[in-house]
Amino acid sequence: MNYVFEPAPQASIEVFGADERLPVRRILCVGRNYAAHAREMGKDPDRDPPFFFTKPADAVVDAGVTIPYPPETENFHFEAELITVIGKGGRNIAEADSLDHVWGYAIGNDLTRRDLQLVAREQGRPWDWGKSFDRSAVIGPVHPVDKVGHLASGSIKLTVNGVVKQDADIAELIWSVPEVISIISHSIELRPGDVIMTGTPAGVGPLVDGDTCVISIEGLGEIETKIGAKL
């Protein structure tokens, strides 16, 4: 195949303890998947069907990379999240079979221009400019299932400059990882390299130039992100 210009590089994430990287196909994100976070966003945490938004694959950034403060926001937020990486695709996946499709798990930070997201929400417009901007998906090394097993519970914690901001347990997910995979696969076909950001606990808040944000998930270690000067 000849292209009229060089295709963009394949987006990818690190694999823990390996030289190979995992190619990213799409980034699928679950909205309001912890009750206390739904409440802090002014919504009732009920078992309405989950909703989703996406980020472009090339929004992905490795842990340890300094993220410049993004343009057009005065309220740039962190969101600690458990990341589930799909290794085997499928459609209409039964909940009982969902975990067979998981390649591994990682720690992520769903970086958000909260002011743009909330204006879009109020006006009934898409969230993209609040959620899907450049370098908006920090994802640390993926830990393969054959090394860490499946994560149904365990501490998820985020600090900014050493101060704890989010402190929860992934057992508190309103929609569990197997449920989310099954539900997504009934709407779109999942394929290897699809990455699911499973939602953030309560305690979201702002980051500014010079901040160091550390997220830990029990069993997956921790990742660190520094925020740099405004672009």
Contact residues toward Mn ion (CB under 5 A) are 79, 110, 200
Least CB distance to Mn ion at residue 20 (A): 27
Q: In this complex, which beta carbon is closest to Mn ion, that of residue 36 or of residue 90? A: 36
- Rounded Cα distance between 55 and 117, Å, is 13
What is the smallest separation between the CB atom of 1 and Mn ion, expressed in angstroms? 36
Rounded to the nearest whole angstrom, what is the least distance from the CB of residue 119 to Mn ion in the complex? 17
**In terms of CB distance, is 114 or 144 closer to Mn ion?**
114
Q: How far is the CB of 32 from Mn ion (least distance, A)?
A: 8
Residue nearest to Mn ion (CB): 110
**Residue 14 or residue 79: which is nearer to Mn ion going by CB?**
79
Q: Which is nearer to Mn ion, 7 or 42 (CB)?
A: 42
Distance of CA 208 to the CA centre of its chain: 20
